[in-house]
A = this chain, B = another copy of it.
Amino acid sequence: MSNAGQSRSHSLALYEGEAELKVRTWVQLARTFLLIQRQAVVAVAEHELTLPQFDVLATLRFSEGVSQQELAERLLVTKGNVCGVIDRLEKTGWMERRNDPRDRRTNRLYLTPEGKRKIDRVLADHDRRVEQVMRGLTVTDTIALRSLLETLQKSVESE
């Protein structure tokens, strides 16, 4: 369910059945996403961030004070995993753990002032690149694409 086998055809029929249409559309979704994501990896690397690190900082930028557990759930990784990513990020001085006084088991996560400035620069660059990448779509097309993706997401989530 990734982007390999891109041009396969299960039959030589002129009529493309619904099943094949859907598989091809998924492959197209994967290919387009991965193409853009690869540029994103390079882009955040120029800011000395990995994609998971970017995800953490960007999440904190708009949801400061989340716990590690909440962050793990949101990013769909394990808490042990999040712990390691945070360890590395804390060393950079861009974010910090603060113990929750009301539940001393819990750490709440905050950007430092330098971290805020950092992620704002990265996000500005990110946004600029996204606009560049998507300049080939008209506003009407973009609205339609977003809407279709929302429909698809709901469909996936309702399984």
Contact = CB atoms under 8 A, between A and B. Distances in A.
- The quantity of this chain's copies bound in the complex is 2
Contacts of A61: 5, 8
A130 B33 contact: no
Given A1-B43, A39-B1, A134 B22 contact: yes
Main SS class of interface, A: helix
A145 B142 contact: no
B76 A18 contact: no
A32 interface: yes
B38 A76 contact: yes
Given A5-B62, A59-B5, A61-B5, A25 B134 contact: yes
Interface string A141-159: 1111110111111111111
A26 to B, nearest CB: 5
Given A5-B58, A123-B5, A136 B158 contact: yes
Contact of A155 (B28, B133, B155): B133
Given A28-B153, A145-B25, A4 B137 contact: no
Contact of A40 (B1, B57, B129): B1
Q: Which of A34, A38, A127, A157 has the most CB of B within 10 A?
A: A127
Contacts of A143: 21
Nearest to A145: B148
Contacts of A136: 151-152, 154-156, 158
Interface in A67-89: 75-76
B153 A32 contact: yes
